[in-house]
Amino acid sequence: MYALKLILRNATRHRLRTALTVLGLTIAVLAYGLLYTVVDAWYAGAAAASNARLVTRNAISLVFPLPLAYENRIRGVEGVTMVARSNWFGGIYRDPKNFFAQFAVSDNYLDLYPELVITPQARADYRRDRKGCLIGRQLATQYGFKVGDVIPLKGTIYPGTWDFVVRGIMEGRDESTITRQLVFHWEYLNETIRKTTKRNVDQVGVYVVGIDDPDKGATVSRNIDAVFKNSLAETLTETEQAFQLGFVAMSNQIISAIRVVSYVVILIILAVMANAMAMSARERTVEYATLKALGFGPAFLSALVFGESLAICAIGGGIGMLATPPAAVVFQHATGGVFPIFKVSHETMLLQAACAFVIALSAAIVPAVQASRVRIVEGLRAIG
């Protein structure tokens, strides 16, 4: 108990320096948590992908579509239970900054996505309306869309202004489900193209394939691609997770830079903390010598230094950890919902605690060794 009181008194002796050190630790731990949450958000789509779904696309690039005739041939491959069509629309809602995913899909598309929950009535209304669309809850919340609203989209890939009527809102099965997308009828898109440009008619961006056994995903993928080998439009079939990770891989350098920055922040605050502890140790040379003269050993002096460092880091790190979840909410709103899922994970919180603990130990090592090696005569001589 006496040692604890001494540690707390030492930590609060220079209140301004301690307060600034705690503030620096708080900011560093908070920044580290937010940066790691950004990385987690980048992988959120891939993490939520199902291993019971495959994606078949053009082997050259996603830019090139596949013929509609491929659908029946894919359905005939052993292990395939369902095939749905999906085309990326890429329309602009009022301003290019208002980016969100838009897909023209076949009517059986939602059967492959049980994590997207919609009422039977809404789905029936959607099927009856050729211009109807379904939107995710996150999208509806962000823009204030409600059932019956008309959403005008200016086509980029498909020219013209397209008006879609909201017929239902898709809820997520749980918090990990991304619901920031809009889907509408693939047939409506295809019919409109046939009447206007007549280009890209009966063309499909990707086929989403349901399989009966997730463990046979690799085999089914190879069999699908074998069907179209040496054709004019060869295919590449992969799991939905691998397909999502392909997009993430395009940003690998950005993600690596974020990781590096997060560790640089920790290294900087480690240097600050180490300097603060070194200053404290130098100022207490006489006190350490006096304690030694009174019979306290080197281990006790080292414990005082480590205890002070741990106390300061516990306060700063704790405040930073507590501030991370509300800061994440503010960050998500400030970025306009770019990350549909931006939640601080338990792993991130543990990493923050581990960083604070490592900083505390690392910053105290040298001062603790110096304190334990103080000679009584030399220490007392430093009075003058």
- In a 13 Å sphere around the CA of 62, the CA atoms on its Cβ side amount to 12
- 116-120, 198-202, 377-381: range with highest mean pLDDT: 116-120
* pLDDT one-digit tens code per residue, 340-383: 677 888 888 999 999 999 998 888 888 888 877 777 766 566 55
Read off φ and ψ for residue 137, nearest 5 degrees.
-60, -40
* Strand, coil or helix: 145: coil
Mean pLDDT of 320-325: 92
What b-and-e string marks burial along 278-307, b requiring 16 or more CB atoms within 10 Å of the CB? eebbeebbebbbbbbeeeeeeebbbbbbbb
pTM for the full predicted model = 0.72
d(CA 365, CA 306) in angstroms, rounded, equals: 8
What pLDDT is stored for residue 150 in this prediction?
94
pLDDT band at 106 (very low <50, low <70, confident <90, very high): very high
* Contact between 265 and 351 (Cβ < 8 Å): no
How far out from the chain centre does Cα 311 lie? 31
Q: For residue 203, what is the DSSP state?
A: E
Which secondary structure element, helix H or strand E, spans residue 377, and what is its range? helix 376-381
| Crossing angle of the two packed helices 15-42 and 346-372, in degrees rounded to 10 | 140
pLDDT band at 97 (very low <50, low <70, confident <90, very high): confident
* Strand, coil or helix: 52: coil
Which secondary structure element, helix H or strand E, spans residue 188, and what is its range? helix 186-195
How far out from the chain centre does Cα 318 lie? 22
Residues in the chain: 384
- 272-276, 291-295, 346-350: range with highest mean pLDDT: 346-350
* Contact between 75 and 208 (Cβ < 8 Å): no
Of residues 298 and 322, more confidently modeled = 322
Helix, strand, coil content of the chain in percent (nearest 5): 55, 15, 30
d(CA 98, CA 47) in angstroms, rounded, equals: 25
Beta bridge partners of 154: 92, 161
Give the E-state strand segments of the chain in sequence order.
Answer: 53-58, 66-67, 80-88, 101-105, 116-117, 132-136, 150-154, 161-172, 181-185, 203-204, 206-211, 235-239
Question: Could you tell me which residues come within 8 angstroms of residue 351 by beta carbon, excluding any fewer than 6 positions away?
Answer: 32, 33, 36
* pLDDT one-digit tens code per residue, 135-172: 999 899 889 999 999 999 998 888 889 999 999 999 98
Question: Would you state the torsion angle of the CA atoms of residues 133, 134, 140, 142, taken in this order, to the nearest 10 degrees?
Answer: -80
What pLDDT is stored for residue 70 in this prediction?
94
Is residue 47 scored above 70 in pLDDT? Answer: no
Of 258, 282, 245, the residue nearest 374 (C-alpha): 282
Mean pLDDT of 290-299: 77
- Mean of the per-residue pLDDT values for the chain? 86
